[in-house]
């Protein structure tokens, strides 16, 4: 399955190219998360405790985690409150792809619901394109295109 990018993928009007983050809206545990940051520079997949709580997730089922990580909050480290392996789905009803992602669950807040790092990109075999602000990935019925609608 060949994945390519061309002018058809380009936004009609994109003020300040390169100034916007790559944000997608996958389905996690059967809930569409509107703002998930794609961070190909991060080794971690992070979901925020407030996101899980708003989804009705049983926080007592988190797997303990005491491995601190750095670089997410400038100048500070963070220790996750636990880990959760959750189904993440990209696509449409007739052409979708689901993989299980091992998230670190953190208490700090951002404007995103979750952050997908390199391990998720590899798992989905995603090709991100920051110029066109979209992801393309193989799916059962051809290439799936995922992008954020609200610039």
CATH value at residue 117: 2.40.70.10
Kindly state whether residue 120 falls inside one of the protein's structural domains.
Answer: yes
**Per the structure, how many domains does the chain have?**
1
Kindly state whether residue 36 falls inside one of the protein's structural domains.
Answer: yes
Kindly state whether residue 93 falls inside one of the protein's structural domains.
Answer: yes
Question: Which residues form the domain of 95?
Answer: 24-147
Query: Is the confidence at residue 73, as pLDDT, over 70?
Result: no
Extract the runs of DSSP E, i.e. beta strands, from the chain. 23-24, 27-28, 31-32, 36-38, 46-48, 69-73, 76-78, 82-92, 95-106, 114-116, 127-129, 134-139, 142-147
Kindly state whether residue 18 falls inside one of the protein's structural domains.
Answer: no
Kindly state whether residue 124 falls inside one of the protein's structural domains.
Answer: yes
pTM beyond 0.85, yes or no: yes
- The pLDDT value recorded for residue 74 is 59
Could you read off the pLDDT of 38-56 as tens digits, one per residue? 998 888 999 999 999 999 9
Please tell me which of 29-38, 63-72, 73-82, 125-134 the model is most confident about, judged by mean pLDDT.
Answer: 29-38
Identify whether the C-beta of residue 104 lies closer than 8 Å to the C-beta of residue 80.
yes
């Amino acid at each position: 399955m060949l994945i390519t990018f061309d002018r058809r993928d380009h936004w009609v009007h994109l003020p300040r190219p390169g100034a916007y983050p790559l944000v997608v809206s996958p389905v996690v545990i059967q809930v569409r998360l509107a703002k998930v940051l794609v961070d190909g520079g991060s080794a971690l997949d992070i979901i925020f405790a407030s996101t899980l709580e708003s989804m009705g997730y049983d926080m007592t089922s988190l797997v303990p985690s005491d491995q601190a990580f750095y670089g997410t909050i400038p100048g500070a480290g963070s220790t996750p409150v636990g880990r959760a392996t959750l189904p993440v789905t990209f696509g449409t009803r007739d052409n979708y792809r689901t993989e299980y992602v091992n998230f670190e669950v953190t208490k700090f807040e951002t404007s995103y619901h979750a952050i997908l790092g390199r391990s998720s990109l590899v798992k989905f075999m995603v090709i991100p394109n920051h110029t066109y602000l979209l992801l393309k990935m193989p799916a059962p019925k051809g290439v799936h295109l995922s992008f954020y609608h609200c610039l």
